[in-house]
């Protein structure tokens, strides 16, 4: 391999001292414009590249930011990560990304790895075992930004308004006559899942109704449970007439279950996707979706971190809340009369069974 050009060689070619060459390349200290021009030309002619390790030791900065999310295969995260990377790159930072799989121990292991690599800051997405105090502990060593997870103290973060989103989507389905609405979301402990469940229940409560708790399926293993859960629900005596589900592999599993059970959307079952993905847009019929600006989420996260990396900025809690909106497509319709009749029969049978008493011989 070709030997790496050293700053000593650059200084010699420019006819200046090593210290002058270093100051000229790093734009630090007192150095003349003539020296800067000579050193810059010598570095370019020789193909000199700075030693990043040596620079990080001098500046105490590696120019790298760590980002942890639960699932890199999630297309919703992919668009956020792209926006974060784009904004950080313009500020001279590289992005190091890893997946926690909603495993708290794995998250801590990866955080320790990032810290050993001396990243300048951390962005942490939701995790099943998250606690607000955990961010406080990490922030003692460097800037930490929460991405859709709980935080306290002087930390900063970006939240999506999942509560009002779920409230809006559930109201929409209730207005179509659906009362047996299945909600499939990753985890009831993670902030997004927890907020969706509360919004879903509150929409029912507004009408003096209470949803069947069996229709709420919030699994820690976020993506691979949907097909079996949806198929089980569709096979029950009082099957759901609508599904509200995350628009990732969960939506894919629900649509697969509909096909296996011989049901069609929107004729037999209505479907709403939480998050607008390629699947929800390209599936036929196109899926009505609850959406939010993913690029704005990523940019806001990056901007918060950059402000934290600026040592002159005052330290205070900053929380950005992004709203959601419904995109109406063709996957929802009024509840079918046959579905209403089936539910009524199932309820009547259940009530009769509870009233029946056994008489001992």
Higher-pLDDT residue of 85 and 349 is: 85
359 pLDDT higher than 80: no
Query: Is 212 exposed, middle or buried (CB count within 10 Å of its CB: 0-12, 13-18, 19+)?
Result: middle
Helices (H) and strands (E) in the chain, counts: 14, 12
CA distance 311 to 262: 60
Is a pLDDT exceeding 60 seen at residue 357?
no
- The pLDDT tens digits of the residues spanning 105-132 come to 899 999 999 988 889 999 999 887 777 7
Report the candidate in 291, 290, 274, 287 with the shortest Cα–Cα distance to residue 329.
287
CA distances from 51 to 21, 31, 93, 119 (A): 14, 21, 16, 17
**CA pair distance 65, 96, nearest whole angstrom:** 6
Distance of CA 221 to the CA centre of its chain: 15
Tokens of 275: 């998050």
Q: Quick one: pLDDT at residue 4? A: 77
pLDDT given at position 223:
54
User: Of 154 and 86, which is predicted with more confidence?
Assistant: 86
- pLDDT 10s digits, 159-202: 999 999 999 999 999 999 999 999 999 878 889 999 999 999 99
Question: Percent of the chain, pLDDT > 90?
Answer: 51
Structure confidence at residue 61 (pLDDT): 61
282 with 120: CB under 8 angstroms? no
Judged against a pLDDT cut of 50, whether residue 16 lies above it is answered with yes
For residues 299 and 89, the answer to whether their CB atoms sit within 8 Å is: no
Nearest to 84, CA basis, from 278, 303, 275:
303
Model confidence at 348: pLDDT above 50 = no
Distance between CA atoms of residues 167 and 164, nearest Å: 5
If you write DSSP's letter for every residue of 40-66 in order, what string do you get?
A: HHHHHHHT----HHHHHHHHS--SEEE
d(CA 22, CA 49): 12
For 201-206, what is the mean pLDDT?
98
pLDDT of 245: 95
* E strand segments, 140-180: 144-147, 156-160
**Confidence (pLDDT) at 352:** 46
User: CA 6, 9, 13 angle in degrees (round to 5)?
Assistant: 145
Report whether pLDDT(51) > 80: no
Which of 25-29, 47-51, 88-92, 285-289 tops mean pLDDT? Answer: 285-289
> 343 pLDDT band (50/70/90 cuts)?
very low
* Cβ partners under 8 Å of residue 180, min gap 6: 212, 215, 238, 239, 240, 241, 242, 339, 343
Q: pLDDT tens, 251-267?
A: 999 999 999 999 999 99
294-341 per-position pLDDT tens digit: 999 999 999 999 988 876 666 677 899 999 999 999 999 999 754 555
């Amino acid at each position: 391999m070709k030997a790496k050009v050293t700053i000593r060689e650059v200084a010699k070619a420019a006819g200046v001292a090593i210290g002058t060459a270093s100051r000229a390349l790093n734009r630090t200290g007192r150095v003349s414009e003539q020296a800067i021009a000579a050193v810059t030309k010598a570095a370019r002619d020789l193909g000199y590249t700075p030693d990043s390790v040596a620079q990080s030791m001098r500046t105490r900065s590696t120019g790298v930011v760590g980002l942890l999310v639960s699932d890199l295969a999630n297309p919703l995260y992919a668009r956020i990560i792209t926006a974060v990377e784009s904004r950080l790159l313009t500020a001279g930072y590289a992005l190091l990304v890893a997946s926690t799989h909603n495993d708290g121990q794995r998250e801590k292991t990866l955080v320790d790895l990032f810290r050993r690599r001396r990243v300048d800051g951390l962005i942490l997405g939701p995790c099943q075992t998250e606690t607000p105090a955990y961010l406080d502990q990490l922030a003692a060593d460097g800037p930490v930004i929460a991405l859709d997870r709980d935080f306290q103290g002087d930390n900063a973060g970006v939240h999506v308004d999942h509560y009002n989103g779920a409230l809006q989507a559930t109201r929409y389905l209730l207005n179509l006559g659906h009362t047996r609405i299945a909600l499939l979301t990753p985890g009831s402990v993670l902030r997004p899942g927890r907020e969706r469940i509360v919004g879903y229940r509150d929409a029912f409560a507004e009408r003096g109704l209470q949803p069947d708790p069996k229709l709420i399926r919030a699994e820690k293993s976020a993506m691979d449970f949907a097909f079996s859960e949806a198929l089980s629900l569709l096979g029950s005596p009082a099957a759901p007439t609508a599904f509200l589900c995350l628009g990732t592999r969960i939506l894919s599993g629900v649509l697969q279950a509909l096909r296996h059970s011989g049901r069609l959307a929107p004729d037999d079952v209505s479907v709403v996707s939480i998050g607008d993905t390629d699947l929800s847009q390209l599936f036929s019929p196109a899926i009505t979706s609850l959406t939010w600006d993913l690029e704005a989420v990523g940019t806001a996260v990056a901007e918060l971190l950059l402000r934290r990396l600026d040592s002159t900025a005052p330290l205070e809690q900053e929380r950005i809340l992004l709203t959601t909106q419904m995109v109406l497509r063709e996957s929802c319709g009024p509840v079918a009369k046959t579905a209403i009749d089936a539910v009524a029969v199932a309820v009547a049978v259940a009530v009769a069974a509870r009233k029946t008493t056994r008489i001992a011989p």
